Structures are given as structure tokens and as C-alpha cells.
Amino acid sequence: MNAQLNHLLARHGTAELRHAGEQARLARDERITGRKLRHRNLITCLRARPARVLGQLIVPVMSAVLAVLALSAPAATADPVGQVSEFSSDLNEWNFPGWIAAGPDGNLWFTGLAPVQGTTPAIGRITPSEQITEFSNGLNPGAYPTGIAAGSDGDVWFADDGATPAIGRITPSGQVTEYSYGHGLNAGSVPMGIAPGADGNLWFTDQGTTRAIGRITPSGQITEFSTGLNRGAVPYGITAGPDGNLWFTDDSAIGRIGSGAAPALDAPASVSGAGVEGSTETCRAQWSDWAGYSSRIALYPFDGYAWLRDGTLIAGQTAPTYIPTAGDVGHRLTCRQTVTYPLPFSVTATATSAAITVQSAPPAPPPPPTPALSALHITPRMFTLSGRRVGGRCQPSSRLNRGERSCIRRVALTVRFTLSVAATVTFAIERALPGRLTRGRCTAPTRSDRRHRPCTRQVMPLGTTVINRGVGANAFTFTGKVDGRSLLPGSYRLSATPTADGIAGQQQQTTCEITR
């Protein structure tokens, strides 16, 4: 490093060194002169021996290499905890890395300071695979880049406290553009820290003649704000907060400036549900979008949901819903949502709901009664199909009309029944057929059992019909047709089964006969 310093002395006659608010000039005769720069920072002691200048002025203050501690990126393998690696082979000569920030392209971007006269400032990029590239084209002459941050427009922005103060941007491909006095920057400006705002603009601190907090739009229009700053303020670092404002540090204070953007939380968190033991409670919150970026509920392990009983976390309850138990009755239940806005913001916001007091579950309602069907009967029990035509109608045969012309009557049976509750009643009709008792069962007659006792067997289900009826006495007319087919002469059994609230009652039966 001394050989490099001697080279600068031989070439220029003096070597200028600048850092942290101090500027020093070293001459061939080993004399050092210094002056304080516009912004105030750490004051570095200058020694008069040239062999010790670099060791006592530069080395303790800034490193000549870029230190990367435990880099983590999708394309790289994480280093063991505590393992430090440093990379400097591709850095410009006498170009000292200053500030560093994650970029939207998956790389790290840094400002390359040039504290020694005759060296080249730059904006640098290092990939997770340790490849360093520095870009100087487009920087103002005498540039001195300081703070750096990713913007919501996909570019990287930086502050330049150089001969021509400016706010600059660099695209992922390395194209640099700087915006200075002609774009609204205060005269005598000293830009320092920079950060993206929720409004889509970049915000920076200005330690210049007129101390201020500045804003630059993606199109390069700069506006600076000084009203509200403390007297003698020296704003330095700046970052976006979950309230949508920008927050900054000052020599003796923490400051805040409004960006005009909405807070992260758009609607308060709440617990929705019945609020009783055994009910499902849901945690809800509504979050704003920032410059087209939505919050993430699972970007980091600490994002997500939490449920609290009387302000204490309920272990294992990290789902958006929760079912209170008997142990929650009488206690105050709240939920909490934590979200994070991704790069370029990397801002985490938390919302906690108002508390609800969990109530005991109401007693279970009594089970619905079992429906009962009674007094089932058919009128007439025997229906004769043959009749006599009297007055244009087919009437039952009798002694009085036996001289009239014969006819076939239409079946008309009245079915009556009584219900204990309103119910759906399913009627099924079966035809009775003759049979013989064989080993206690009524089976179809055969030659071998012709001497057995006769019986009646119900073996021909003909169909069903379903009707809805109310409580009390009910009746309807059965026309002798099932599924569109008329019943033939024979003996029949009618079964009725009531159902209410999914509960089936006891089946009741009655019989009837249709004759010719």
C-alpha cells in the first residue's frame, strides 16, 4: 500500500485522502494538511509520518476490501455460522466499498468510495458466487457515492456526496444516471442515506447547507423538506416504516416524515365468530399495497398468525382460525397477524385484534321427537272393480241397479292416518300372494308342500310414494296406480313410515283387497 501511495505522490505531487467528514492532503515533504468537510461524522486523527498515514488514517476507518458475512442467496451455499470470507480481487484500485444493499436482481450492490485523488469512484455489484463488477460510466466527475438502496422500479438508487452532489440510479445492467441541481436538489447539498418509500419514490437525508429530507421520483424529480427538523439537525440513516412514513436518524433525535402513502394496515385486525366455546374464530386483517407490492403472510418464519389468551401466546396455535376450549371460557382472546413487504422495502408489520371474552357454549337443544304415525286404515277395505252404469256413472253393483249395463269402476281408496308431528311419510305397497308354511316360513306353494297350511306372503313390492303432511289427522285418495300402473285384482299391504328431522318413526301397516 505504501508503494501505491508513493506512486500517487510521484505522479501528482500530493495525495488527497477523504473519508468520514475529513479531507487530508499529503505532500512529498511528508507534510499533512487537513480540513473538515461539510458534513459532520467521525473525526480522524492525522499523523505526520508518511509511513504511518495509511495505517493510522485509512485502515482503521475503512477497509480496502468488501467483507461479506454469511452470504445467503438461492444460487449459493450458505457458509457455516461465523465463517467470514472477504473478496477484493476485482475491486478498482484504491476504491473502498462503503454502503451495501440487496438488489432486486438477487445480487448485492455497494458504493465504491474514492477517498484518494486520482482514483475512480464506482457503484459495485457482487453476485452470490463472489463475482465483483464496478460501474463508473455515468457518474458525475468527482463523485463520492454514499448510501445505496433498491427502488420499487427495479433499479438501485444511491446518494452522491461528490463535487456535484446528486441522487443517482443504476440499472441491473449497469447504466448510471444522476440527478442534481437541475432536478430540484438544494444548493450545497450533501446527500447521505437513501431508502425506498411506500409511495414508490426514493427518500434521502441531506446534510448540506440546508439540512433536509429529500424525495426523488422514479422520473428524477427532487423535492426537499426542512420544516420540522431540529435546529442543527444532521440527518443520516433513513428507512420506511410500517406506518407508511419514512423514519430517519439525527444527531440527537429520531425523526419521521410523511410520504403520503397509506399505512401497511388498511383495516384493523379482528376476531370474527360466535365467541363461544367450540365455535370457530377467524383472524382477519386487511393490508395495503405499497407501490404495487403486496405484503406476504409467510415471507419469513416469524410471519403468520398467533392466538393469545389474556395477552399470552397459546402454544401451537398459528392457523388463521382457532376453536376456543373450556379453558378459554371467561378469558380474553386476541389474534395477531404479522406480514412482511418484500424487497425493496423489507418492512414487517404486525396487527393485533381487539379482545373478545369467550363465553360458555349454550346448552345443547333437546333432540327432536320421534315422529309417530297411528290410526292407519283404508276405506273401503275391499274394492270391487265391476259395477253398473247409472246416470252416466259407474256405480257399485246392488240389487237396485242389477238390471243396468255393467262397467269397470276406477279405484278410489281413502287412506287415513294421524301424525304426532309434521313429517314426510313414505308409503310402500306390496301384493299378497298365496303360500304354504314350510319350516315356519311362508313360501311359494309347490307339489311337495300341498298338504301344508296355507299362508299369505308379501313378495311383490310394487312401488312407493312420498307425501308431506302436518301434525294431526290426514287423508288422501289412492287411485290404485303405482308408478303409472293400475293395480290388478288381489290382496295388498300398505306400509307407512314417517320421517322428521332425519329421524324415522315406527312403520305402520294396513291391508286392502281389490276384486273383480
Encode pLDDT of 58-100 as tens digits.
333 333 223 322 333 344 577 899 999 898 888 887 778 999 9
- Tell me the C-alpha distance between 312 and 91, whole Å: 52
pLDDT grade, residue 113 (50/70/90)?
Answer: confident
In which element (H, E) is residue 416 found? strand 413-419
Query: What percent of the chain shows pLDDT beyond 70?
Result: 84
Q: Considering only 62-76, 203-217, 328-342, which range has the smallest mean pLDDT?
A: 62-76
DSSP 24-38: EEEETT--EEEEE-S
pLDDT tens per residue across span 466-486: 899 999 999 999 988 887 888
227-249 pLDDT, tens digit per residue, is 999 999 999 999 999 999 999 99
Full-model pTM: 0.64
Contact predicate 25/50, CB 8 Å? no
Backbone angles phi, psi at 52, to 5 degrees: -105, 0
Element (H, E) at 340: strand 332-341
Average pLDDT of the segment spanning 169-178? 97
Q: Does residue 21 have a pLDDT over 90?
A: no
Query: What sign has the CA pseudo-torsion 223, 227, 232, 235?
Result: negative
| Summary mean pLDDT of the chain | 85
Q: Which of 169, 203, 207 is nearest to 186 (CA)?
A: 207
> Which residues are within 8 A (CB) of 478 and not within 5 positions of it... i.e. 6 or more apart?
378, 411, 412, 413, 414, 415
> How far apart are alpha carbons 442 and 446 in whole angstroms?
12
Residues composing the chain = 516
pLDDT tens-digit profile of 268-326? 999 999 999 999 999 999 999 999 999 999 999 999 999 999 999 999 999 999 999 99
| Higher per-residue confidence, 74 vs 448 | 448
The secondary element (H helix, E strand) that includes residue 2 is helix 2-12
Bridge partners (DSSP) of residue 269 are none
Mean pLDDT of 419-439: 90
Helix count (H) and strand count (E) of the chain?
2, 43
- The answer to whether residue 224 scores a pLDDT higher than 60 is yes
pLDDT at residue 63, rounded to an integer: 31
Has residue 446 got a pLDDT over 60?
yes
The pLDDT, as a whole number, for residue 433 is 82
Parallel, antiparallel or unpaired: strands 373-379 and 332-341 = unpaired
Lowest mean pLDDT, pick from 43-47, 219-223, 384-388: 43-47
DSSP string, 4-67: HHHHHHHHHSEEEEEETTEEEEEETT--EEEEE-SS--PPPP--S-HHHHIIIIITTT--SSEE
**Sorting pLDDT into bands at 50, 70 and 90, what band is 458?**
low
What was the pLDDT predicted at 201? Answer: 98
Strand partners, 191: 206
pLDDT tens digits for range 357-373 = 999 998 888 999 999 99
CB-based contact 48:29 (threshold 8 Å): no
* Domains of the chain, each with CATH number or no CATH: 2-58 (no CATH), 66-257 (2.130.10.10), 265-357 (2.60.40.2700), 373-515 (2.60.40.2550)
The three-point CA angle 278-282-284 to 5° equals: 165
Share of the chain above pLDDT 90, in %: 63
> How confident is residue 460, by pLDDT bands cut at 50, 70 and 90?
low
Amino acid 69: pLDDT:
29
> So what's the pLDDT on residue 79?
85
46 vs 126: which has the higher pLDDT: 126
Model confidence at 459, pLDDT cuts 50, 70, 90, reads low
* Secondary structure letter of residue 343 according to DSSP: T
Phi then psi for residue 473, to 5 deg, are: -75, 140
Widest distance between CA atoms in the chain:
157
Q: Beta strand pairing status for 166-170 and 156-160?
A: antiparallel
Contacts of 317 (CB under 8 A, 6+ apart): 305, 306, 307
Omega prior to 344 cis, within 30 of 0: yes
Give mean pLDDT, residues 148-172: 97
State the pLDDT confidence band at 331, using cuts at 50, 70 and 90. Answer: very high
